[in-house]
């Protein structure tokens, strides 16, 4: 791999000996020497002024692509516009200034917010109980599998140790199942992108803990035989776990509870509009059917007294009877819950349904615009996303990565690359519901131009991106040899 191209004077040294951002007031106490060894003279700190620091970080922030800058079709991530009113609500001092160790009677408003969010999520999923504790989607999965295991054990059914995961599942599904100590068995997809029913049935025996299914799956396809799938697992005494991270395809239209699922998780930071990525806080509530409510992690927010003098109920924290215990300190990520409830209340039932209709419409609109130019192996009506191949037989040497890098020249964030694994050179595209037709048209035009270039002038793809401050990086080196500090210690 060639050297990274740097196109702007980014690496100009800002540090200048003696330059300072802060000036301390003169000491008003006697001066004394610090104990030997306390100060490291060899620590090279940049010597910069306040304005140098501000400009440096502001410039860095401008190198980043965000959903507030342009289209971000990163499949399975739901990078949609997050309404700013969510932020206003999450910053209300009444929410930001409470402490998790305050007595319950002093945080009734926060508990009420959590209670009503639990109730809305029950209604949205069609399930009987909800825990808001898990910190993210994968954490919700782990929690859900622990609940499933506890359920089987409580019935003396101790031989069950197998979780089935389709090959079209999100990558976290096999990972969290394995982390819970289960044996993970992969079930292949059929030619239409559904679970291979015969292969599934062959694994449905008395060692089955359950099935963890992403629906719609990572091809963006709704499982066409979901009722038969659920039935086969239930017939073997197993439970069905639904990965509902990308619920924006189903909101207000279909409910996991009605499909017979036993456990699901939702990603509040995707579907319910909290900015995420880059390690931002998430929230992956778990919802369960009636027979699993007693196993939910503690605590759950409940109405502990209906009839207060002022007519308001009193809320409190309760521990379900056979709870698997805590999975998170304190209450979970409260700020994300504030944003999710704001989003739900502002949209209302009709608005939530419209979210799903628009998410599905946008994905299908783009799919059809691109289907003559890009090969879409499982090309049928999709839900929130679809997966195209980033390769052509008559354009050897061009890969999905080249297409993604070239897209950056048009100001678009690349789609998810190389996932799911069942599509070679995968480009997983999720436009989300918040994009206009104009944006989708512009993206499709860029994708078509790139396809033309792949055939006529592949060099322009191989050398992309051309307009970003940094050219193409060596991804392996960038991941393995991170240089995150001002001073490159490796070069010292
Ligand atoms: C994002 C995602 C997850 C994982 O969620 P995290 O919050 O990143 O842990 C799981 N399943 C699906 C389908 C997802 O899209």
pLDDT at site 1: 39
Give a yes or no: residue 3 inside a domain.
Answer: no
Give the residue whose CA is nearest to atom 5 of ligand 1.
137
pLDDT at site 478: 83
Q: How far apart are CA 99 and CA 337, in angstroms?
A: 16
The length of the chain in residues reads 492
Same structural domain, 138 and 242: yes
Give the residue whose CA is nearest to atom 10 of ligand 1.
137
Same structural domain, 159 and 280: yes
Is residue 367 lining ligand 1, measured as CB closer than 6 Å? no
What pLDDT, in 10s, does the model give residues 65-86? 999 999 999 999 999 999 999 9
Phi and psi angles of residue 300, each rounded to the nearest 5 degrees, phi first:
-110, 145
Q: Measure Cα distances from 367 to 257, 259, 379, 417, 428 in Å.
A: 29, 27, 8, 16, 11
Q: What is the mean pLDDT of residues 409-426?
A: 95
Give the residue whose CA is nearest to atom 2 of ligand 1.
245
Q: What is the mean pLDDT of residues 469-487?
A: 81
Answer for the pair 327, 143: CB distance below 8 angstroms, yes or no: yes
Phi and psi angles of residue 303, each rounded to the nearest 5 degrees, phi first:
-80, 115
Same structural domain, 301 and 239: yes
Say if residue 43's pLDDT is above 80. Answer: no
What pLDDT, in 10s, does the model give residues 301-329? 999 988 767 778 999 999 999 999 999 99
Name which of 21-35, 89-103, 316-330, 432-446 the model is least confident about: 21-35
Is residue 129 lining ligand 1, measured as CB closer than 6 Å? no
> What tokens appear for 118 in the block?
């639990």
CATH of the domain at 381: 3.90.1150.10
Q: What is the mean pLDDT of residues 25-40?
A: 88
Between 172-179 and 137-154, two packed helices, what is the crossing angle to 10 degrees?
Answer: 40
CA of 328 to the centre of ligand 1 (A): 18
What pLDDT, in 10s, does the model give residues 196-231? 999 999 999 999 999 999 999 999 999 999 999 999
What is residue 52's three-state secondary structure?
helix
Q: How far apart are CA 264 and CA 285, in angstroms?
A: 8
Q: How far apart are CA 242 and CA 338, in angstroms?
A: 24
Same structural domain, 296 and 367: no
CA of 77 to the centre of ligand 1 (A): 7
pLDDT at site 45: 83
What pLDDT, in 10s, does the model give residues 369-400? 999 999 999 999 999 999 999 999 999 999 99
Closest by Cα among 206, 183, 187 to 196: 187
What is residue 166's three-state secondary structure?
strand
Which of 246 and 2 is assigned the larger pLDDT? 246
Give the residue whose CA is nearest to atom 6 of ligand 1.
137
Answer for the pair 232, 417: CB distance below 8 angstroms, yes or no: no
Threshold 0.75, pTM exceeds: yes
Give a yes or no: residue 43 inside a domain.
Answer: no
Say if residue 473's pLDDT is above 90. Answer: no
Where a domain ends, among 288, 321, 345?
Answer: 345
Q: How far apart are CA 72 and CA 362, in angstroms?
A: 13
Same structural domain, 258 and 363: no
| DSSP H or E stretch at residue 165 | strand 162-166
CA of 266 to the centre of ligand 1 (A): 9
Q: How far apart are CA 61 and CA 274, in angstroms?
A: 19
Phi and psi angles of residue 450, each rounded to the nearest 5 degrees, phi first:
-65, -40
CA of 442 to the centre of ligand 1 (A): 28
Give the residue whose CA is nearest to atom 3 of ligand 1.
137
Burial level of 174, CB count in 10 A (0-12/13-18/19+)?
Answer: buried
pLDDT band at 2 (very low <50, low <70, confident <90, very high): very low
Say if residue 156's pLDDT is above 60. Answer: yes
CA of 250 to the centre of ligand 1 (A): 16
Which of 3 and 479 is assigned the larger pLDDT? 479
- What is the distance in angstroms between the CA of the first residue and the CA of the last residue of the chain? 24
Same structural domain, 297 and 153: yes
What pLDDT, in 10s, does the model give residues 227-283? 999 999 999 999 999 999 999 999 999 999 999 999 999 999 999 999 987 667 899
Is residue 76 lining ligand 1, measured as CB closer than 6 Å? yes
CA of 115 to the centre of ligand 1 (A): 24
CA of 99 to the centre of ligand 1 (A): 29
Closest by Cα among 272, 296, 293, 291 to 283: 272
pLDDT at site 79: 95
What pLDDT, in 10s, does the model give residues 431-466? 999 999 999 999 999 999 999 999 999 999 999 999
Q: Which ligand 1 atom sits nearest the alpha carbon of residue 141?
A: 10
Where a domain ends, among 280, 312, 345?
Answer: 345
Is residue 420 lining ligand 1, measured as CB closer than 6 Å? no
Is residue 176 lining ligand 1, measured as CB closer than 6 Å? no
Q: What is the mean pLDDT of residues 148-165?
A: 97
Q: What percent of the chain has pLDDT over 90?
A: 82
> DSSP per residue over 436-485, as a string?
-HHHHHHHHHHHHHHHHHHHH-HHHHHT---SSSB----HHHHHHS---S
Q: Which ligand 1 atom sits nearest the alpha carbon of residue 269?
A: 7
Average pLDDT along the chain: 93
pLDDT at site 382: 98
Is residue 217 lining ligand 1, measured as CB closer than 6 Å? no
Same structural domain, 211 and 325: yes
CA of 436 to the centre of ligand 1 (A): 25
- If phi > 0 it is left, if psi is from -120 to 50 it is alpha, else beta; for residue 175 that is alpha
Q: Which of 134, 137, 173 to mutate to test the pocket of ligand 1 (most atoms within 8 A of CB)?
A: 137
Answer for the pair 245, 342: CB distance below 8 angstroms, yes or no: no
Q: How far apart are CA 122 and CA 255, in angstroms?
A: 10
Q: What percent of the chain has pLDDT over 70?
A: 95
Is residue 267 lining ligand 1, measured as CB closer than 6 Å? yes
Q: Which of 176, 213, 245, 384 to mutate to test the pocket of ligand 1 (most atoms within 8 A of CB)?
A: 245
Please work out, in degrees rounded to the nearest 5, the angle formed at the alpha carbon of residue 37 by the alpha carbons of 36 and 40: 130
CA of 449 to the centre of ligand 1 (A): 32
Say if residue 111's pLDDT is above 90. Answer: yes
| DSSP H or E stretch at residue 172 | helix 172-179
Report how many domains make up the chain.
2
Is residue 247 lining ligand 1, measured as CB closer than 6 Å? no
* 396 DSSP assignment: T
Same structural domain, 275 and 378: no
Is residue 245 lining ligand 1, measured as CB closer than 6 Å? yes
Q: What is the mean pLDDT of residues 1-30?
A: 76
Answer for the pair 190, 239: CB distance below 8 angstroms, yes or no: no
Q: How far apart are CA 254 and CA 14, in angstroms?
A: 56
User: Regarding beta strands 208-214 and 386-389, do their DSSP bridges make them parallel or antiparallel, or are they unpaired?
Assistant: unpaired
Q: Which ligand 1 atom sits nearest the alpha carbon of residue 218?
A: 13
> What tokens appear for 171 in the block?
């990558």
Work out the widest C-alpha separation in the chain, in whole angstroms.
Answer: 83
pLDDT at site 352: 98
The alpha-helical segments, DSSP class H, found in 371-436 are: 400-409
Same structural domain, 250 and 288: yes
pLDDT at site 306: 85
Where a domain ends, among 345, 363, 396?
Answer: 345
Name which of 79-88, 91-100, 279-288 the model is least confident about: 279-288
Which of 52 and 389 is assigned the larger pLDDT? 389
Other beta carbons within 10 Å of 259: 18
Residue-range definition of the domain harbouring residue 298: 85-345
Say if residue 19's pLDDT is above 70. Answer: yes
CATH of the domain at 154: 3.40.640.10
């Amino acid at each position: 791999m060639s050297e990274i191209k740097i196109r702007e004077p980014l690496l100009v040294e800002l540090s200048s000996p003696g330059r300072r951002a802060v000036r301390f007031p003169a000491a008003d106490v006697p001066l004394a020497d610090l104990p030997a060894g306390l100060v490291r003279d060899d620590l090279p700190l940049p010597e910069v002024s306040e304005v140098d620091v501000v400009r440096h970080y502001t410039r860095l922030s401008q190198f980043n692509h965000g959903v507030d800058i342009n289209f971000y079709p990163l499949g399975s991530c739901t990078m949609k516009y997050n309404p700013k009113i969510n932020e206003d609500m999450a910053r209300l001092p009444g929410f930001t200034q409470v402490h998790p160790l305050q007595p319950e009677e002093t945080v009734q408003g926060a508990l009420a917010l959590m209670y009503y969010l639990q109730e809305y999520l029950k209604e949205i999923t069609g399930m009987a109980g909800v825990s808001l504790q898990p910190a993210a989607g994968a954490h919700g999965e782990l929690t859900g599998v622990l609940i499933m295991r506890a359920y089987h054990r409580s019935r003396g059914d101790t031989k069950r140790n197998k979780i089935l995961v389709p090959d079209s599942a999100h990558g976290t599904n096999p990972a969290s199942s394995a982390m819970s100590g289960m044996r993970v068995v992969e079930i292949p997809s059929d030619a239409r992108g559904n679970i291979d029913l015969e292969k599934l049935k062959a694994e449905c025996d008395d060692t089955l803990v359950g099935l963890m299914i992403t629906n719609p799956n990572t091809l963006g396809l709704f499982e066409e035989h979901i009722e038969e799938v659920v039935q086969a697992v239930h017939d073997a005494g197993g439970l069905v776990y639904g990965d509902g991270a990308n619920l924006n395809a189903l909101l207000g239209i279909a409910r996991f509870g009605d499909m017979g699922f036993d456990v699901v998780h939702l990603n509040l930071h995707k579907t319910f509009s909290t900015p995420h990525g880059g390690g931002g806080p998430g929230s992956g509530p778990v919802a369960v059917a009636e027979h699993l409510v007693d196993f939910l992690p503690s605590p759950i927010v409940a109405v502990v007294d209906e009839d207060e003098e002022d007519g308001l109920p009193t809320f409190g924290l309760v521990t379900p009877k056979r709870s698997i215990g805590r999975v998170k300190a304190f209450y979970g990520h409260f700020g994300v819950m504030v944003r999710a409830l704001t989003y739900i209340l502002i949209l209302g039932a009709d608005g939530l349904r419209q979210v799903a209709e628009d998410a599905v419409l946008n994905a299908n609109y783009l799919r059809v615009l691109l289907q003559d130019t890009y090969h879409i192996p499982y090309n049928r009506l999709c839900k929130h996303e679809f997966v195209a191949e980033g390769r052509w037989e008559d354009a050897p040497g061009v890969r999905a990565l080249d297409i993604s890098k070239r897209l950056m020249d048009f100001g678009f964030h690349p789609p998810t690359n190389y996932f799911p694994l069942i599509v070679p050179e995968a480009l997983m595209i999720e436009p989300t519901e918040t994009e206009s037709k104009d944006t989708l048209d512009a993206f499709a035009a860029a994708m078509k131009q790139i396809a033309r270039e792949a055939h006529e002038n592949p060099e322009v793809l191989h050398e992309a991106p051309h307009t970003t401050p940094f050219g193409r990086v060596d991804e392996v080196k960038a991941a393995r040899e991170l240089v995150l500090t001002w001073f490159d210690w490796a070069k010292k």
